[in-house]
Structure 1
Amino acid sequence: MIRRSSSAALRRVLRSSRVSNISKHHLSTAAAADTNFPPYLLESPTTEITQFPSGLRVASETMLGANTATVGVWIDAGSRYETIHNNGAAHFLEHMAFKGTPRRTQYNLEVEIENMGGHLNAYTSREQTVYFAKVFEKDVPRAMDILADILLRSRLDPGAVERERDVILREMKEVNKQNEELVLDHLHATAFDGSGLGRTILGPEQNIRTLTRDDLREYIDTHYLAPQMVIAGAGAVDHSHLCELADYYFGNLKSELNEEQKKSDAICLDTGKFVGGDVRIHFNSDPIASFALAYEGASWTSEYAYPLMILQTIIGSFDRAVGKNPTSQLCYDVAANELANSISTFNTCYKDTGLFGLYAVAEREKVPALAACITKNIAQLAHHISEEDVERAKISLKATMLMGLDGNTNVCEDIGRQLLTYGRRITPVEIFQRIEEMTVDDVKAAAHKVFYDKDHAMAAVGGIEGMPSYEWLRNNSF
């Protein structure tokens, strides 16, 4: 289903001059043997990567015994690369991609996917745009045909653009009813004020009402470039065949912008700068407060990335509905004193920065005590992390990561995201090795770097009149 035929010409063989840099990423047998990892990890499939001269990359992992495959296109473009004027364009295009092409009407597209028993989906984030399909092995060529058609030849019919405005505005209303989504959007806006990371994915209401077909077409022309795109596949896929399909359907992508496009106001290339800040939206009638307190975290490639993953696991989460089974001193204090309905730790990485913090939901009268509890535990965290805490977190983190790779869709997602993020695929074995190498001192150093004498960002919504001032929170968290 849609959420959100190969031809004779397709049989041509890839010319060797079109392809370069074929590689397989895996940990060497000798290195793997030293880690005492379980056999199923050491025997996991390798990821094959091919880079075309245009910069387009194709990466896949063949999973023996699989009857279905997931193939998709990962694009290194999201809301952070939009401008004030076209913010929301990437998400708007996500809606428009399924509204028809010169070859397929919206109805025909839906019928084709349904008749294949397939699943077509897309999503937009702050840094990436993704379109993918899950299909039977025999339908991989058709899936690639559909993906290329909707990405590169979407009609963007003016009438459909006008109709879709109301759909997106209704989506915005639904998103804003979810306090967690609302809080985290405001958190980004205040944490990265003045930069692309501070803008929402949906864009402001004014942009949704005024973006034109030309704006959307310009976004495609300036961001859907070969070096910014990865064709990923996992499951019942053959790498050489996927390369052939990619060459046929995406071989004419531009490699770079022309001089006029480089000067266009439609391109935003700013760096994500954490500036901190405080935003509070008080509703007198709301008995519940929802807030997020965050500090500058780490980029995907930072030396602190893995220690912060372990730190996130150590701090953990608590949910009153699940029961009192706290995973850290903070969660224990919150549970024992019934300070919150729930509290969770988040660690969000971007290319050049990140956000590390806590999101909490509590009754309005508990907010002052909860804020004091959080800042007290943050201040003491770097000193109280034990060897046992780190070892327990390592086991939990590895289990979470492995469960996140269950199924070819999740593997395909991991391949596409990592190729854009790291330029290569980091295997589970290598990830496990990096986690195992982390020490107590590494995690303490990360906690000290993030929390000690650092400005923070906070966003709070609801019954928050008891929330301490920014200065109080700043001075009591170290």
Structure 2
Amino acid sequence: MSTASPTTSPLPLPLEVDDLTLELDGGAQVHRTVLPNGVRVISEHIPGAHSASIGFWVPVGSRDEHEGQFGSTHFLEHLLFKGTAARTALDIAIAFDEVGGESNALTGKEYTCYYAKVRDADLPMATEVLTDMVVGSLLDTEEFDRERQVILEELAMSEDDPTDVVHELFGSLAYAGQALGRPIGGTRESIGAVQRDAVWEHYRANYRPEDIVVAVAGAVDHSRLLEQLHHAFAQQGWDAASHGPLHARRSHELLPTPAQQSAQVVSRDAEQVNLIIGTRGIPASDDRRFSLSVLNAILGGGMSSRLFQEVREKRGLAYSVYSFGGTYADAGTFGMYAGTRPETAGQVAGLLRDVLARFADEGPTDAELARAHGQLSGAITLGFEDSSQHMTRLGKSEIGLGELWDLPASIARLRQVSASDVQQLAQLFATSPQHVAAVGPVDEEALHG
């Protein structure tokens, strides 16, 4: 008896198809429907689940803001919890608290998501409340001024965290002068200056039916979900059958790689130097993103990784050391992080460079490659146990790549990554212009290799 090998191809999510059913591994199904008003609804029923995760995804992030609006996307993340014509901020909080549910939001550089996780019986409530929040927010003037202070406190908290500061600094160096280099939450200056009308304009321009994706995973019936959303949107006046063109967040114009390297130190009196050395990465649509996952697993993704072994285990020079990669529609980042004492910052900076250079020269061993395949396969499988992870995968797939990778295809594709694939990507990062960001009591000269 022969067994078919799992496919390594994604399932397409074509925008021109209004109703779509995708067959997943084990007989599970994903349903995607475009409502007459243009809102896209994508759901996955998870057998045996007694809860559901729901997210309202909007393909707008901090990189989409204009002068006078910087920080507006994150500001909206706060404000949409502050009341509608039908509910006060307290009403919204009580709705989830009284059923033991979770609700929150997140803002990225390219998307925003308002989400909740509730029991299956409470999914209609979560659907109605989130719809009201996302579509019917008032952006009340008093709430706006009050929440401005809350966000300033949030920014102050981040500014006190050197890890947050060094990551923001690295992003500003890698994408200097470009929207991707701006902080997601804005700055104290931009939040202090932004006006309610500017945030309102940003809200009305980007929260349109054709922009919204509703993703649900867990104990969900797609037909009932559509009925609930039809009713909830109709209450907001979003029941018209006309809408603008649907689109996914993709770009064919890749941002150019800077020709010059850069470095910056934020000097602080502290016990540690927080350090990042990295470069531009690859975009989300690049097939090498699977190689990037394997590269990070081997280079700095765990206790057996090269960075952990060389910097922490062999020399005791850091408690936290790792590598990371991020992808956007038309760009990406790659970096190596370490926190170390001021007197060893220069040595650690040299080690980060040396480990990457050796990796680029030698490539991974067979044992490292096998271990990375196993590590990533396990992590993906464990992630699929959580309805929130399913929901996030659905939302990002719909607003971004326009394709969905199920569990077997994801694992099979990762296992196709070869030692040569990983080495070529390491060589790209090792030879690209480097950006060095550091926070703490150290001179910039000490960090140069």
Distance 1:65 1:90 in 2: 37
Map 1:272-283; keep pairs closer than 5 Å: 272-275=255-258, 277-283=262-268
Matched residue, 2:360:
382
Alignment partner of 1:25 is 2:30? no
Equivalent residue, structure 2, for 1:286:
270
Of the candidates 198, 217, 225, which is equivalent to residue 234 of structure 1? Answer: 217
Which of 424, 436, 439 is equivalent to 1:458?
Answer: 436
How far is 1:110 from its partner?
A: 1.9
| Shift in Å, 1:46 | 2.7
SS at match of 1:298: coil
- Compute the displacement of 1:297 (Å): 1.2
SS of the residue 1:468 aligns to: helix
Q: Is it true that 1:255 corresponds to 2:243 in the alignment?
A: yes
Contact 1:195/1:271 (<8 A) preserved: no
TM-superposed CA distance for 1:329, in Å, is 6.2
3-state SS of the aligned residue for 1:116? coil
Secondary structure, aligned partner of 2:243: coil
Q: Distance in 2 between matches of 1:366 and 1:131?
A: 43
Q: For residue 420 of structure 1, what is the amino acid of its counterpart?
A: I
Q: Is the 8 A contact 2:300 2:307 kept in 1?
A: no
Q: For the Cα contact (< 8 Å) 1:330–1:377, is it kept in 2?
A: no
Please show how residues 420-435 of structure 1 align to structure 2 within 5 Å: 420-435=399-414
Given candidates 300, 304, 315, the residue that maps to 2:299 is: 315
* TM-superposition CA deviations, 1:174-194 (whole Å, max 9, x none): 011111111111111111112
Aligned AA (1:231): V
Q: How does 1:125-164 map to 2 (within 5 A)?
A: 125-164=108-147
Q: Match of 1:43, SS?
A: helix
Cα distance in 1 for partners of 2:378, 2:353 equals 29
- What amino acid is aligned across from residue 353 of structure 1 in structure 2? A
Percentage of identical aligned residues: 27
Provide the residue aligned with 1:408 in structure 2. 387
> Whole-Å Cα distance in 1 between the matches of residues 406 and 290 of structure 2?
15
Shift in Å, 1:361: 0.1
Q: 1:58 aligns with which of 24, 41, 48?
A: 41
1:467 CA drift (Å): 5.1
Deviation at 1:119, TM superposition (A): 1.8
SS where residue 279 of structure 2 aligns? strand
Verify: 1:79 aligned to 2:92, yes or no.
no
After TM superposition, give the deviation of residue 53 of structure 1 in Å.
Answer: 5.5
After TM superposition, list the pairs within 5 Å mapping 1:339-350 onto structure 2: 339-350=317-328
Deviation at 1:84, TM superposition (A): 3.3
In 2: Cα distance, 1:93 partner to 1:466 partner: 37
In structure 2, the partner of 1:184 is 167
Deviates more, 1:50-59 or 1:245-254: 245-254
Shift in Å, 1:350: 1.0
> Any conservation in 2 of the 1:371–1:467 contact (CA below 8 Å)?
no
After TM superposition, give the deviation of residue 25 of structure 1 in Å: 3.2
Q: Distance in 2 between matches of 1:103 and 1:112?
A: 13
Contact 1:25–1:425 (8 Å) recurs in 2: no
Rounded Cα–Cα distance in structure 2 between residues aligned with 1:333 and 1:159: 51
Cα shift at 1:273: 4.8
* Equivalent position SS for 2:31: strand
From 363, 366, 370, the equivalent of 1:391 is 370
Matched to 1:24, the amino acid is T
Q: How much does 1:382 deviate?
A: 2.0
One-letter code aligned to 1:348? G
SS in structure 2 of the partner of residue 201 of structure 1: coil
Where structure 2 has 5 or more consecutive residues not aligned to the other structure, the ranges are: 1-15, 246-251
Partner of 2:313: 335
Please tell me whether the aligned partners of residues 70 and 194 of structure 2 are also in contact (alpha carbons under 8 angstroms): no
The alpha carbon displacement at 1:130 in A equals 0.4
Quick one: distance in 1 between partners of 2:267 and 2:253? Answer: 32
Aligned to 2:82, the other structure's residue is in SS state coil
Cα pair distance change 1:425/1:373, threshold 3 Å: same
1:258-296 per-residue CA deviation (whole Å, 9 max, x = no partner) reads: xxxxxxxxxxx997555353221122x323100111111
- Maintained 8 Å contact 1:330/1:373: no
- Given that 1:296 and 1:353 are in contact with CA atoms closer than 8 Å, whether structure 2 keeps it comes out as yes
- Check if 1:353 corresponds to 2:331: yes
In structure 2, do the counterparts of structure 1 residues 96 and 330 end up closer, same or farther at CA, with 3 Å as the change threshold?
closer
1:105 to 88, 94, 104: 88
For 1:156 and 1:207, how far apart are their aligned partners in 2? 18
Match of 2:193 among 199, 203, 210: 210
Indicate yes or no: 2:180 matched with 1:197: yes
What TM-score do the two structures reach when normalised by structure 1?
0.82
RMSD: 2.3
* Larger RCO of the pair (alpha carbons < 8 Å, separation 6+): 2
Q: Which amino acid aligns with 2:306?
A: S
Q: Is the 8 A contact 1:326 1:332 kept in 2?
A: no
Amino acid at match of 2:127: M
Find the aligned partners of 2:194 and 2:286 in 1 and give their Cα distance: 36
Q: Paired residue for 2:6?
A: none
Specify the code of the residue in structure 2 equivalent to 1:339: L
Query: For the Cα contact (< 8 Å) 1:25–1:427, is it kept in 2?
Result: no
Q: CA deviation at 1:419?
A: 1.5
- What corresponds to 2:7 in structure 1? none
Render the CA deviation track for 1:290-340: whole Å, top value 9, x for unaligned: 01111111111102111011000001257xxxxxx5422663354212222
- Cα distance in 1 between the residues matched to 2:396 and 2:324: 19
* Unpaired segments ≥5 residues, structure 1: 1-18, 28-41, 258-268, 319-324, 474-478
CA distance in structure 1 between the partners assigned to 2:27 and 2:349 by the alignment: 45
Matching residue within 17, 37, 45 for 2:28: 45
Please list the CA deviations of residues 213-270 of structure 1 after superposition, one character each: whole Å capped at 9, or x if unmatched: 211211111111333321100111011222233333344487349xxxxxxxxxxx99
